[in-house]
Amino acid sequence: MKRKHLLGLQDATREEIETWLETADAMREVLARPIKKTPALRGQSVCTLFFEPSTRTRASFEMAAKTMSADTSSLTVAASSVSKGETLKDTLLTLAAMGAKCFVIRHSSSGAPELAASYSGKFGFDFSVVNAGDGQHEHPTQGLLDMMTMREHKGQIEGLNVCIIGDLLHSRVARSNVFGLLTMGANLTLCGPHTLLPQEFSAMNVKMTTNADEAVEGADVVMTLRLQNERMNGAYLPSVREFARLYGINAQRLKRAKPDAILMHPGPINRGVEISDEVADGAQSVILNQVTNGVAVRMAVLYHLLGGNEGNE
């Protein structure tokens, strides 16, 4: 794989996605060994730069890097010179000058990781950039770990009926999943209230509906998205209770999906809003499985970006 950065799944080929997923399966086996450590990225330095809060993404990137013996450092932005007004560019170049070879970036502005990647090779430093979520744009490793989880439970992605339900307008998770799943040949249904269902998606090969019961009907995979606090108070919804009633996934609504359907959520979950307690903790829920797969997928991504894999097989 020749790729230097992972900024989104929009431009990822099917072959690339398959390579990441296959490698991630091998990485999951590594994580099941009594000693979870391989020397594959020894001497490489990975720096996480999170301009937004995160629990699972940041922790899993760090665990992924450490499992492969990379050195990790993480910049807590609030306690850094960024709070004194240092720009993204100067922050990156400063860390690159200390030897960082890979930046994992989360930022509230869409496109920040792309901007960061554009500095690589220009000021005497060469580095890789991984997008760990940028604004309302993409969150590619989440898309990959979701596809890994679907493949694990359903065997393959091609032909699966996947329903994504909730706040699609603000969701970078949804966008990465839509790009990735379409590339892999899944049948997609997107569902949410008019205010949160962007019409841009209608140009793609997806079904769109505002009726949740209809959307869930016959699904192999039901993916519900976090309704972010700030949306609850915005002018997008009449009330959270109404959203929960019309678009929340509960046992009754989940029955419309196939009996062996899996229920996914990128976390953190709002219990009682987009997902009810009984299904979040139910037999069809694979939410914690997604978290476990997150480490394996991020190992695979770092391995291929930093490993210089020239494909000798």
Partner 1 sequence: MTEPKTLLEASDIARALKRVAHEIIERNRGLENVVLVGIRTRGVPLAQRIAAYLNDIEDVEVPVGTLDIALHRDDFHLRTSAPKMSQIRFDVSEKTVVLVDDVLFTGRTIRAALDALNDYGRPRAVQLAVLIDRGHRELPIRADFVGKNTPTAREESVQVCLDESDGDDEVLLLTEE
Least CB distance from residue 296 to partner 1, whole Å?
A: 11
Q: What count of other Cβ atoms lies within 10 Å of the Cβ of residue 168?
A: 22
Burial of 235 (0-12, 13-18, 19+ CB in 10 A): exposed
Binding site for partner 1 (CB under 8 A): 1, 19, 22-23, 25-27, 29-30, 33-40, 68, 303-304, 307-313
Three-state DSSP class for residue 32: coil
Place of tokens 């509230």: 108
Closest to partner 1 by CB, 148 vs 223, is 148
CA distances from 25 to 29, 74, 103, 156, 301 (A): 7, 27, 24, 13, 12
Query: Which residues on neighbouring strands pair with residue 275, listed in sequence order?
Result: 249, 271
Output DSSP code: residue 107: E
Nearer to partner 1, 230 or 310 (CB): 310
CB 12 → partner 1: shortest distance, Å? 16
* H/E element, 132: strand 128-134
Q: How far is the CB of 121 from partner 1 (least distance, A)?
A: 18
Q: Beta strand 71-76 with 45-50: parallel, antiparallel or unpaired? A: parallel
Least separation in angstroms between CB 307 and partner 1:
6
Q: Which two tokens stand for residue 32?
A: 């099941």
User: Nearest approach, Cβ of 40 to partner 1 (angstroms)?
Assistant: 4
Cα(45)–Cα(29) distance, integer angstroms: 24
Given a contact cutoff of 8 angstroms between Cβ atoms, the answer to whether 226 and 275 are in contact is no
Cβ at position 300, least distance to partner 1 in Å = 8
Output the smallest distance, CB 192 to partner 1, in A. 37
Nearer to partner 1, 25 or 52 (CB): 25
Find the shortest distance in angstroms from Cβ 15 to partner 1.
Answer: 12
* DSSP structural state of residue 234: S
Closer residue to partner 1 in complex, CB, 19/72:
19
Q: Which is nearer to partner 1, 20 or 179 (CB)?
A: 20
Compare residues 27 and 100 and give the one whose CB is closer to partner 1: 27
Q: Which is nearer to partner 1, 196 or 306 (CB)?
A: 306
The tokens describing 209, both together, are 């509906």
Two structure tokens written together for 39: 């020397």
**Do 306 and 277 contact (CB within 8 A), yes or no?**
no
List the strands of the sheet with 128-134, edge to edge.
71-76, 45-50, 102-107, 128-134
For partner 1, give the closer residue by CB, 33 or 255: 33
Residue 111 CA, chain-centre distance (Å), reads: 16
